[in-house]
Amino acid sequence: MRPFEPTDLDAYTARIFGDAEVLRYLPKRDTPARERAQRTMDFFNDHWNQFPYAPWAIVEKASGELMGHCGLRFITEIRETEVLYALAKDFWGKGYATEAARASVEFGFAKVGLERIIALAVPENIASRRVMEHCGLVYEKDVQLFGLDCVYYALNRKT
């Protein structure tokens, strides 16, 4: 896990924002894939200027290949910190999302000192819900955010 670099744009565009299967669980946008990827990378990198955390690029150790993103972001609309992740479908089902999400949650509690971390997913995204549960987050409620019906999971820091 590392900050996004300008050289990530082509792979990030193709693997996340250019793949309909990956996009089916993300908020809908009318923005072209490359522009959306650039805006997302910029948002994540700018997030570091406002908070002591942000989503990282996830890179496979063995190949150096960009797999997607994972990390923490503050959601202004609900004043909560979310662990979020999106991986290219070539990397689905291999435990990478769980590994990265766990590391992000641990970072948020141990290094940043957060008291609570949430996660959101559309109800049909069973794989994402499993990642949340493997990280210890527990379902709390259904919400509507970003034009999507979502399930809302949360975990409080252990005292």
Average pLDDT taken over every residue of the chain: 93
pLDDT of residue 159: 59
More confident residue, 30 or 113: 113
Edge-to-edge strand list for the sheet holding 66-75: 55-59, 66-75, 80-87, 116-121, 148-156, 138-145
- Residue-wise pLDDT for 38-75, tens only, equals 999 999 999 999 999 999 999 998 888 999 999 999 99
Residue 101: pLDDT band (50, 70, 90) is: very high
Q: Is the pTM of this model over 0.85?
A: yes
Q: What's the rounded Cα separation, in Å, for the pair 147 and 75? A: 14
In the chain, where does DSSP find H-type helix?
A: 9-12, 20-23, 33-50, 96-106, 126-134
For the chain, domains (ranges, CATH) are 6-117 (3.40.630.30)
DSSP state of 144: E
- Residue-wise pLDDT for 135-146, tens only, equals 999 999 999 988
CB count, 10 Å around CB of 28?
10
Question: Would you tell me the crossing angle of helices 96-106 and 126-134 to the nearest 10 degrees?
Answer: 40
